[in-house]
Amino acid sequence: MGKFDNKRMVITGAGSGIGKATAIKFASEGAYVACVDLRGAAETASEIGGSAFALECNVADASAVEKMIASAVNTLGGLDILANIAGIGHFKWSHEESPEDFDRILSVNLNGTFYCCRYALPHMLEAGGGIILNTASTAGLIGQPWSAAYCASKGGVVMLTRAMAYEYRNKNIRVAAVAPGGTKTNIVKSFTDLPKDADYSLMSKIMSPVPIADPSEIASAFAYIASDDGRFITGSILTIDGGIVC
Ligand SMILES: NC(=O)c1ccc[n+]([C@@H]2O[C@H](COP(=O)([O-])OP(=O)(O)OC[C@H]3O[C@@H](n4cnc5c(N)ncnc54)[C@H](O)[C@@H]3O)[C@@H](O)[C@H]2O)c1
């Protein structure tokens, strides 16, 4: 018996890092998983085997998300859990950030999370319940230098999570987020290239006193929230950061 036997799930960002670890974790506990990503989803699905399949989708494209959710629900026969994990970011001085890159980061991290919720919710409402797991960040809770777009997008995910949790709390739909600190994945490379003249000491605020997390530790937090043990969790933002936000 697995914790998620026969649960039907969509996971974005499943081609790499936290999304991939989450797909593996939920599938190992019995879930059927649609692995969604721009790239790498097929590899994750084939690593999992029969209980997973891949869908290529740009979450920043609302009509692509509408089609992706419809296709996933059609194959899965319904939708019990949505995990919004896809995300991007980079270091840039705010006075040098291009409007295009600012929009791109907001579009993937915040709009993409909204679009997936938007098109998943009708299926959950029709079925009488569901669970939405979002990915915030410590950068959405405290300021992080050279990351205005990323911080704004993740702060947006925090409030989107709280707003939807409140809106749907009488509809048996739980909405919660994890806020990881540094986690060993590809995105970290985007945050190691310091911009010119950056004062490295400003980084001390966002550096964890313990080694950075393994993606499987974030996946376990998602699994706890989505499990029956997490029945009373909604609207929560669970920091998993080794003590950055205390
Ligand atoms: N790794 C960390 O230190 C850390 C800390 C806090 C929050 N996060 C968040 O965790 C989430 C997962 O990131 P990760 O650490 O696993 O990094 P990652 O780069 O390994 O994974 C991100 C995945 O998102 C996918 N993606 C990017 N843009 C997409 C788009 N438009 N449509 C569909 N998929 C897209 C990428 O292809 C990639 O597979 C992100 O939301 C990130 O902001 C990560």
Q: What is the pLDDT of residues 105-122, one digit of tens each?
A: 999 999 999 999 999 999
Q: What is the predicted pLDDT for the residue at 115?
A: 99
pLDDT for 206 beyond 90:
no
Q: Separation of 60 CA from ligand 1 center, angstroms?
A: 13
Q: Is the CB of 59 under 6 A from ligand 1?
A: yes
Q: Which residues are marked as active site?
A: 150
Can you tell me the mean pLDDT for 174-197? 94
Q: Is the CB of 183 under 6 A from ligand 1?
A: yes
Residue with tokens 């499990």: 227
How far, in Å, CA of 55 to CA of 44, rounded? 11
pLDDT for 211 beyond 90:
no
Any idea what DSSP says for residue 60?
A: T
Give the number of the atom of ligand 1 that is nearest the alpha carbon of residue 61: 31
Tell me the whole-structure pTM to 2 decimals.
0.98
CA 204 distance to own-chain centroid: 25
Angle, CA 206 vertex, CA 214 and CA 144 arms, to 5°: 120
Any idea what DSSP says for residue 108?
A: I
Q: What is the predicted pLDDT for the residue at 200?
A: 87
How far, in Å, CA of 169 to CA of 236, rounded? 12
Q: What is the predicted pLDDT for the residue at 192?
A: 84
Q: Is the CB of 189 under 6 A from ligand 1?
A: no
Q: What is the predicted pLDDT for the residue at 1?
A: 83
Strand order in the sheet with 237-240: 52-56, 32-37, 8-12, 81-84, 130-135, 173-180, 237-240
pLDDT for 204 beyond 90:
no
Q: Separation of 174 CA from ligand 1 center, angstroms?
A: 22
Give pLDDT tens digits for 98-157: 999 999 999 999 999 999 999 999 999 999 999 999 999 999 999 999 999 999 999 999
Identify the three-state secondary structure at position 225.
helix
Ordered by where they begin, the domains of the chain are 8-240 (3.40.50.720)
